[in-house]
Amino acid sequence: AQTVTQSQPEMSVQEAETVTLSCTYDTSENNYYLFWYKQPPSRQMILVIRQEAYKQQNATENRFSVNFQKAAKSFSLKISDSQLGDTAMYFCAFMKHGIDGGYNKLIFGAGTRLAVHP
């Protein structure tokens, strides 16, 4: 069974600074996907970034980037130039590669609550 661990229940950062959120996972699969989702107080889960395990290059989306270490089973999220609007819960999630179709369930970590201060 796959598990996802986020060891930082809470983090805080000053506006404009950089913060890194940690995520580790356990799996025996070779093909899989990793995601970071953001959940602001509105409850809406918003995709931040995704990474295919077969890709060695780390994914980036504007101010968000990941450090994907497949051998270490680590998938950290770096937020550069933090903004007040980045305040939210951040969830790391794992999805096994489907065999028969392009779908499968997500397995989530417990989340990290990030507060960005002015």
Partner 1 sequence: GAGVSQSPSNKVTEKGKDVELRCDPISGHTALYWYRQSLGQGLEFLIYFQGNSAPDKSGLPSDRFSAERTGGSVSTLTIQRTQQEDSAVYLCASSLDRGRGLQDTQYFGPGTRLTVL
- CB nearer partner 1, residue 103 or residue 118: 103
CB of 15 to partner 1, least distance (A): 26
- CA 58, 38, 86, 44 torsion: positive or negative? positive
Tell me how far, at minimum, the Cβ of 101 lies from partner 1, in Å: 5
Q: Least distance (Å) from partner 1 to the CB of residue 61?
A: 12
**49-55 contacts: CB < 8 A, separation 24 or more?**
49/77, 51/75, 53/97
Kindly state the tokens that stand for 66: 């990941």
Please say which residue, 73 or 113, places its beta carbon nearer to partner 1: 113
Strand partners, 20: 78
Give least dist CB 57 to partner 1, A: 18
Q: Could you identify the residue written with the tokens 């996907």?
A: 33
User: Which chain residues interact with partner 1 by CB under 8 A?
Assistant: 4, 33, 35, 37, 42-47, 50, 91, 93, 95, 97-111
Rounded to whole angstroms, the Cα distance separating 79 from 17 reads 8
For residues 29 and 81, which CB has a smaller minimum distance to partner 1 in the complex?
29
DSSP assigned state of 32: E
Query: Of 16 and 46, which has the nearer Cβ to partner 1?
Result: 46
